[in-house]
Chains A and B, each alone.
Chain A
Amino acid sequence: MNYEFPLVFFTALTQAAVGISLVAAWRETRTECIGLFSFRREWLTVFVLASLGLLASLFHLGDPKRAMTALVNLSNSWLSREGLVFGIFAFFALINIFRRSKLFVFAAAVFGIAGIVIQGLTYAPVSMPVISNAVPMCIFALSALCLGTSLTQMAEENGVSKMRTFLLVILVILLAALPFVWKGGDVLSQETAALWLSSVPFWGGIACLVLALVMSLIGRRCIVMGLLVLAGVILCRMTFFADTLHTATRIGMPY
């Protein structure tokens, strides 16, 4: 089974980084919070997660030494754009560690959002009809927000906590509903549904997310919950990459 771990970690970690940066940007709009938190540590987390994600992506390449040439095809390739945008995102995160300013914080957030959108387009190939749509973008955006709201120091803050609970509910429903929706589709969709439903990482991931949701509801300490969300996202992402059927696997057979 090829779980595409470089892509799993690349997407999950960059999404965590974007999520945290969005919460941080939201906080910038609320002056009462200033001074309560260690912004430097938070932006350091964002930078480290984004960098680890980008590093992980290198393991996906046959020739990582020439990784920079992946930025060549900006005019055609969402993958090129994805690399560039996350590079810029990481760059602003780095600046925010040392010289945080509203401009740089919002710049990071904007590139982060762009990154998620582009990622949603990159991993929605025409060859995988069940996810050749807005599904990846929705999963990625929800994952980013769930990760962001559960991994920040502000996770215990009331507004964030409510938001997180709500987002987790949506993410779990979306992920769990997908295979059941596909069951009503064509052969390729049905077979993908069967693969997802029989995938151990998938159900493991859902379990992690549900557990995190329960903790969020009863207001438990956040670090375990944050890690649970991360684990849930990573496990479900493994299924996303490994068990979503490609049209080429059924050539000669009915679709």
Chain B
Amino acid sequence: MKKLEPVSSRRGFLKGLLSAGVAGTIGGLPSGLLVPQKAQAGTFDPDAYQIFRNACPRNCYDTCSIKTYVKDGVVQFVEGAPESTFTKGALCVKGYTYPRRLYSPDRVKYPMIQDKRGSGNWRRISWEEAMDIISDKILDIKKRDGSLLGLGLTKYSGNFGITNYGVEGMMSSLGYTTRFVGTPCWPAGIDAQNYDLGDMWCNDPEDMVKAKYIIIWGANPAWCSMHTMKYIYEAKSRGAKVVVIDPILTQTAAKADEYWQIKIGTDGALALGMARHLLDLGLVDNDFVTNHAVGFEEFADYLRENITVEWASEICGIPAENIKALTEEFAKAKPAAVWIGYGMQRHTNGGAMVRAIDAFVAMSGNIGVEGGGARYGHLRTWGFNYHAMIQKQPEGSVGFVGATGPKGEFDFAGESTAAYSDRAYNINKTAQEILDSKDPELKMLWISCKNPFAQDFDRNKLEKAFDKLEFVVSVEQFFTETVRHSDIVLPVTTLFEEWTVNASYWHYWLSLNEQAVKPMHEAKCNIEIAALLSKAMNAKEPGSCTFPQEIDAKEWMIKEFNQGIYDLFGINSWEDLRNGPRKAKLPSSASWNTREFMTPSKKYEFKSELCEQNGFNALPKYVEVRKPDAPFKLLTPHVQFALHSQFVNIDWMENFYPEPFVYIHPEAAKEKGIKDLDTVRVFNKIGEVVVRAKLTDNVLKDCAVMYEAWFRKLTFNVQNVVDDCAADMGAMKTGAPGVALHDQFVDIVRV
């Protein structure tokens, strides 16, 4: 390497120059002014920091274990916990913004009241005043209705820290209320896997390295589960073939060996075509289908009578020879895995499509195999006490007299035998449920860990629905659109300011979330807010709220642990997690490794009577997708910069993702007279979005793609054009069917 003159000698030269007085015009100045100070390059010293353990509590496969470096009571920076082989020292682009979230000038800093909803006339009030107003309203509702069913809660995945189920607990502690239940996320697939296997239970993602063949079907881990990509790459480097099937040429597709651009909502047909070919070739795992499964013969008959590869090809747009070739390769590679993405089941036929893929994987003999599997998700590491959630209703509470109370995929409370229950409203039809609400009408809504105006469907209808509500309380960190539609906003803590514990629905690691710094401003965590409300309620009407009035958030975190959790993770105490996250001790990295299934028959059910009882086909038959009523099929999936409505509002993120776009195919754009970066109106019968267009053949000709996100400075909102049409399955395990948010149709014109 060519050595450059060291800096010091150049400085020496200059000093000489100066002392010789050559530099005429600058003579007379103190020469110290001219000599740069030597920069003292301090070495980074990790020991100079206090280390805290945190966990990313967002609704994400990866649920990263975070190591937080604190100095002088200030979070200096974060990194991925190196102890977790899954996180492996690296967070994602979102995770690295956390210090900025904590110290963002945009945060909701103290309780505030808005003089008129939407007016923007916010006034600061004290916590006592806020609780006084809220408790007055709750007591008023109880007095008017004789029950608290007029009080509703909508909460979902904004913060999956276990103690945050204390929000549900707070509602129970007040009485029987109305709950928005279900999930917009993954319910059709959950039910599908429950019909087939008896539970949703996936292999350890880290065992994907053992796979010889991987089909990533409707998932985009390069954006949505970045940490899994290293296992896929490792499998590839060990010789596995990776195929991505997706209507969008995603970032994951660009990293695959082969990418199939499939027509939207036709994955079921493709899977059935592949199943038929497996059958024709005699590549079915006979041991599995005879000894570990029921209904295979009937399924095989269905395939023979109704399905051909050519038929599947016609529907899904993939040439028959490719379908045949892939089927053969998949069947001959053992183990072979399919990753079933959540996007693929957000259709009116979503559950049916997942069942078809499950069936294909099962026939190939890859269920219960390390490195194999039909991978969707799991909740095997979520066996906490749900102490914060399980609260008793006050004596004499009156509720909803109905068959069953609300459910949710994270509801571990078990069956209740009480005479009354909460009233369950479908979370995927928030607007319609509010509009239709009667006897008693929903009057007050408590919103926590959720941003309905960014995430709930048919935004324009939601505006009308909120107009009907008398009182709205939002528990938030930022002034979102939902906060704009609220009367009171309460500042809630970030992960660094609260105690909780987090598990993943994908990997098998458990992470502690310690309070690393004192809460900023007047922020409080959800269970502290519940305690404050309880205090206000009991002061006015003793016994009206059973939630403890004084709580120690750390103690409450400890109460979530039990021996089952300790045994599963091989720890003696929660404090062991202070040394880093721990992974569940698994007898095998494969789910269903014993091939004992949890279905009624205890076998894999190609034919599910339960499914039939619930109004669907017993066999994983082909079901057509929703019919379009506009020229473009609209997909609104995730972008790597956002987790639903979170992160894109952080100014750091604006450096990398300042503006949303609608992505359309160049040929479709040409027909519409749209050029690259033109501003366009994306619209349908329920609303419109004005946004700039980018042209790319990453999307299908009849498809438009917009990535969901909430921008603090833009009105962009994909929910303007996404209606609340239901998916097929989901009601069994999550309380409400999913939503067909990828069966949406729009037209596009140049503005």
Contacts and interface: CB of A to CB of B under 8 A. Distances in A.
B13 interface: yes
Contacts of B5: 75
A90 B17 contact: no
B13 to A, nearest CB: 6
Contacts of A66: 33
Contacts, number: 39
A73 B25 contact: no
A247 B145 CA distance: 70
A45 B711 CA distance: 56
B413 interface: no
B14 interface: yes
Contacts of B46: none
Contacts of B23: 71, 84, 87
Given A66-B33, A69-B33, A76 B10 contact: yes
B35 A87 contact: no
Contacts of B24: 87-88, 91
Given A84-B23, A88-B25, A90-B25, A74 B17 contact: yes
A68 B10 contact: no
Contacts of A68: 26, 29, 33-34
Among A75, A76, A87, A90, the most chain B Cβ lie within 10 Å of the Cβ of A75
Contacts of A69: 33-34, 36
B26 A74 contact: no
Name the residue among A71, A84, A87 with the largest chain B CB count within 10 angstroms.
A71
B13 A75 contact: yes
A74 B25 contact: no
Contacts of B14: 71-75
Contacts of A75: 5, 10, 13-14
B3 to A, nearest CB: 14
Nearest to B18: A71
A84 B5 CA distance: 21
Contacts of B13: 74-75
Query: Contact residue range for chain B?
Result: 10 to 19
Given A88-B25, A90-B25, A71 B34 contact: yes
A84 B24 CA distance: 9
Nearest to B17: A74
Contacts of A76: 10
A88 B24 CA distance: 7
Interface string B28-60: 010001111000000000000000000000000
A87 B17 contact: no
A75 B13 CA distance: 8
Interface in B275-300: none
Nearest to B29: A68
Of A69, A72, A91, which is in contact with the most chain B CB atoms at under 10 Å from its CB? Answer: A72
A76 B5 CA distance: 10
B10 A73 contact: yes
- Looking at B5, B11, B14, B29, the one whose CB has the most chain A CB atoms below 10 A away is B14
What's the dominant secondary structure at chain A's contact region?
helix
Contacts of A87: 23-26
Contacts of A84: 23, 25-26
Interface string B477-505: 00000000000000000000000000000
Contacts of A71: 14, 23, 26, 34
Interface in A76-92: 76, 84, 87-88, 90-91
B26 A72 contact: no
A74 B29 CA distance: 17
A17 B17 CA distance: 26
Interface string A54-71: 000000000000101101
A141 to B, nearest CB: 23
Contacts of A74: 13-14, 17
Interface of chain B, main secondary structure? helix
B35 A72 contact: yes
Contacts of B36: 69, 72
A210 B17 CA distance: 45
B316 to A, nearest CB: 34
A104 B751 CA distance: 68
B202 to A, nearest CB: 37
Interface in A87-134: 87-88, 90-91
Contacts of B10: 73, 75-76
Contacts of B25: 84, 87-88, 90-91
B163 to A, nearest CB: 45
Nearest to B9: A75
A75 B5 CA distance: 10
Contacts of A90: 25
A122 to B, nearest CB: 18
B11 A72 contact: yes
A69 B11 CA distance: 12
A73 B10 CA distance: 7
A92 B424 CA distance: 90
A200 B34 CA distance: 41
B22 to A, nearest CB: 9
A253 to B, nearest CB: 14
Nearest to A86: B25
Contacts of B11: 72
Contacts of B33: 66, 68-69
A68 B13 CA distance: 16
Contacts of A72: 11, 14, 34-36
A76 B33 CA distance: 19
B249 to A, nearest CB: 18
A152 B558 CA distance: 87
Contacts of B35: 72
Contacts of B29: 68
Contacts of A73: 10, 14
Interface string B659-671: 0000000000000
A73 B13 CA distance: 9
A90 B25 CA distance: 8
Nearest to A75: B10
A136 B579 CA distance: 62
A42 B629 CA distance: 81
Interface string A218-245: 0000000000000000000000000000
Contacts of B26: 68, 71, 84, 87
Contacts of A91: 24-25
A69 B23 CA distance: 13
A76 B4 CA distance: 10
Contacts of B17: 74
Nearest to B5: A75
A73 B36 CA distance: 10
A69 B266 CA distance: 69
A76 B11 CA distance: 11
A240 to B, nearest CB: 27
Nearest to B11: A72
A112 to B, nearest CB: 14
A3 B33 CA distance: 31
B15 to A, nearest CB: 10
A41 B35 CA distance: 37
Interface in A11-35: none
Nearest to A91: B25
A43 to B, nearest CB: 16
A73 B26 CA distance: 14
A84 B29 CA distance: 14
From B5, B23, B25, B33, residue with most partner A Cβ within 10 Å: B25
A90 B26 CA distance: 12
A75 B34 CA distance: 14
A84 B34 CA distance: 13
Given A74-B17, A75-B13, A91-B24, 7 more contacts: A68-B33, A69-B34, A69-B36, A72-B11, A72-B35, A74-B13, A91-B25
20 contacts: A68-B26, A68-B33, A69-B36, A71-B34, A72-B11, A72-B34, A72-B36, A73-B10, A74-B13, A74-B14, A75-B5, A75-B13, A75-B14, A87-B24, A87-B25, A87-B26, A88-B24, A88-B25, A90-B25, A91-B25
For the complex of A and B, 3 pairs with smallest distance between CB atoms: A87-B25, A75-B10, A91-B25
